[in-house]
């Protein structure tokens, strides 16, 4: 099944089966294909078979989710800012079927971040079939990761085969379509005849309530989402809960087993097209290959790898001449192919008051706080101790204040660290990144953020 024409072929094969499931109605594969075609024609888009027009001929002003600042004069690449709704999904599928390059911008970006992304997308480096996702770069500005339709399709096929997806599956997808982890389930569901279940527009249902009511059989979540499920017994219809985006705390995994949730931790990143390792089985997914260098650096090779990074100079590939990509993580790969991912490639050691601590250890403890999606621990210069431990936490449920009202606050961090960490390992400076803020992109920026905006934590 060719990547760009998969929806029409799916409509021919599974015409009357549900493709998208909403609150109060379903769309069959045939109806979805017809709606996508109508949207594509309304946007002035044509498939490669309908026209040989250049990608620069695309009109974007009628797109429901198109960036209004992105006009034809600014470049040939379409910018979409998708939300978790049917309009965004139809727009994405319309551009996908045209084979023209498009980029997915994140709704919560600042004007500065959006401007930087649009500047990169004005370059004429992209080609037909490209899809651009953005991650945080080392400068704190968005970094473009360029995939092709074929690489994304290869990743979806690999997951479908590994987890034996069938037309009976219902894939509940609560993750942002602007991230590869939220985009990939669209292809995984719609290339196997299954149904893609979108979150409730009403927003009143809990995650568990949505899974129960829609009778979802498989879902992709980040660790903080899993923690909300673990308050209650398992959802009977679920046969797989893929976890990605960050390391899963061992306590959460044990609790998930006790609750009856069929959790499968995975390893992957934007550059690999989402999950490439089933960490539970310790095996690569599909035809992905992994190896570890003598010093423990993990390399990956396979059909789901990205084409390169979008820079001001164009698209540059970091792959070596044999197609291997250095992940920046450390781990072990046995002769039999079993994979163990251990964390970041280079441990970060912080010396405070003569004591040396591993930042990774502190980060793992902070990951265990309910509501924390990501943690970064750094050493912040201090006149008395040399350095003190500082922590930046990304917490979608937090409010603008680190003191009160959020799912994550100073008290919850203090309590967790008091229970799990020796006194010299506990963070003394804290910054909670709230929704709509990107936060620091690297350790250097984190130190600056903590110095300027961090809150002191005291332990008694």
The answer to whether 210 and 199 are in contact (CB under 8 A) is yes
| Residue 411: count of CB within 10 angstroms of its CB | 12
Is residue 279 within 8 Å of residue 266, measured between CB atoms? Answer: yes
CATH code at 349-456:
3.30.300.30
| Cα separation values, 94 from 61, 88, 199, 234, 344, Å | 14, 10, 21, 36, 38
DSSP for 134-197, written as a single string: EEE-TTSSEEEEEEEHHHHHHHHHHHHHHTT--TT-EEE--S-TTSHHHHHHHHHHHTTT-EEE
Structure tokens at 147: 């995939």
The reported pLDDT for the residue numbered 96 is: 95
292 token code pair: 């570890």
295: its two tokens: 């010093």
Instruction: List b or e across 156-168, with b for residues whose CB sees 16 or more CB atoms inside 10 angstroms.
Output: bbbbbebbebeee
DSSP-assigned states of every residue in 295-312: T-EEEEESTT---EEEET
Topology classification of domain 1-346: Rossmann fold (3.40.50)
Question: What is d(CA 281, CA 266) in angstroms, rounded to the nearest whole number?
Answer: 10
Handedness of CA 163, 183, 216, 282 (dihedral sign): positive
For the chain, count helices (H), then strands (E): 12, 25
Task: Give the per-residue pLDDT at 365.
Answer: 86
Cα 331 to Cα 96: distance, rounded to the nearest angstrom: 35
Over its length of 460 residues, how does the chain's per-residue pLDDT go in tens digits? 566 689 999 999 999 999 999 887 899 999 999 999 999 999 988 665 555 444 333 333 344 565 544 433 334 578 898 888 889 999 999 999 999 999 999 887 777 778 888 888 875 789 999 999 998 544 445 789 999 999 999 999 999 999 999 999 999 999 989 999 999 999 999 999 999 998 876 555 688 999 999 999 999 998 878 988 998 899 999 999 999 987 788 888 999 999 999 999 999 999 999 899 999 999 999 999 999 987 788 999 999 999 999 988 889 999 998 999 988 888 899 888 889 988 766 557 787 876 778 887 888 888 888 888 788 899 999 877 888 999 999 887 655 444 333 468 899 899 999 988 888 899 999 999 876 677 787 788 889 999 998 999 999 7
For 292, the 3-state DSSP assignment is strand
Looking at residue 324, what is its pLDDT? 94
Structural tokens at position 384? 């008395």
Rounded Cα distance between 115 and 133, Å, is 15
Q: What confidence score (pLDDT) does residue 360 get?
A: 79
Residues forming beta bridges with residue 20, ordered by sequence position: 27, 196
CATH 3.30.300.30 domain range(s) in the chain: 349-456
Query: What distance in Å separates the CA atoms of residue 245 and residue 373, rounded to the nearest whole number?
Result: 8
Q: What are phi and psi of 211, to 5 degrees?
A: -60, -40
Report which of 10, 369, 392, 376 is spatially closest to residue 193, judged by C-alpha positions: 10
Backbone angles phi, psi at 424, to 5 degrees: -75, -15
CA distance 351 to 180: 37
What residues contact 23, with CB distance under 8 A and at least 6 apart?
Answer: 200, 201, 202
Structure tokens at 434: 């709230």
CATH 3.40.50.12780 residue window(s) in the chain? 1-346
């Amino acid at each position: 099944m060719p990547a760009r024409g998969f929806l029409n072929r799916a409509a021919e094969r599974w015409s009357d089966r549900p493709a998208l499931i909403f609150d109060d109605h379903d769309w069959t594969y045939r109806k979805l294909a017809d709606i996508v075609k109508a949207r594509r024609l309304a946007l002035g888009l044509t498939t490669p078979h309908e026209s040989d027009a250049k990608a620069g001929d695309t009109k974007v002003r009628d797109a429901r989710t198109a960036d209004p600042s992105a006009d034809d004069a600014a470049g040939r690449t379409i910018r979409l800012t998708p939300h978790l709704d049917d309009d965004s999904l139809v727009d994405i599928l319309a551009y996908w079927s045209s084979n023209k390059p498009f980029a997915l911008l994140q709704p919560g970006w600042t004007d500065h971040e959006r401007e930087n992304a649009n500047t990169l997308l004005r370059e004429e480096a992209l080609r037909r079939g490209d899809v651009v996702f953005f991650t945080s770069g080392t400068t704190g500005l968005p970094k473009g990761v360029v995939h092709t339709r074929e690489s994304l399709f290869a990743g979806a096929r690999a997951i479908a085969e590994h987890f034996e997806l069938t037309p009976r599956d219902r894939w509940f997808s609560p993750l942002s379509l602007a991230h590869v982890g939220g985009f990939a389930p669209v292809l995984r569901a719609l290339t196997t005849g299954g149904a893609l279940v979108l979150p409730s527009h009403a927003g009143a249902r809990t995650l568990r309530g949505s899974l129960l009511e829609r009778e979802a059989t498989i879902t992709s979540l980040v660790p903080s989402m899993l923690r909300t499920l673990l308050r209650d017994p398992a959802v009977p219809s679920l046969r797989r809960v893929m976890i990605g985006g960050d390391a899963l705390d061992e306590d959460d995994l044990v609790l998930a087993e006790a609750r009856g949730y069929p959790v499968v931790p995975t390893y992957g990143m934007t550059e690999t097209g989402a999950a490439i390792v089933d960490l539970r089985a310790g095996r690569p997914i599909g035809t992905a290959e992994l190896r570890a260098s003598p010093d423990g650096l993990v390399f990956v090779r396979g059909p789901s790898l990205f084409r390169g990074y979008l820079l001001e100079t164009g698209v540059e590939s970091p792959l070596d001449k044999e197609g291997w990509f250095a992940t920046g993580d450390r781990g072990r790969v046995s002769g039999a192919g079993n994979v163990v991912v251990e964390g970041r490639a280079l441990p970060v050691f912080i010396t405070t008051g003569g004591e040396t601590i591993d930042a990774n250890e502190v980060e793992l403890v902070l990951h265990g706080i309910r509501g924390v999606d990501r943690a970064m621990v750094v050493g912040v210069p201090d006149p008395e101790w040399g350095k003190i431990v500082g922590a930046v936490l990304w917490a979608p449920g937090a409010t603008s204040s680190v003191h009160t009202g959020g799912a994550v606050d100073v008290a919850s961090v203090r309590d967790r660290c008091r229970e799990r960490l020796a006194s010299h390992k506990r963070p003394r400076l804290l910054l909670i990144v709230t929704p709509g803020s990107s936060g620091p992109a690297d350790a250097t920026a984190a130190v600056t953020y903590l110095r300027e905006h961090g809150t002191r934590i005291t332990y008694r």
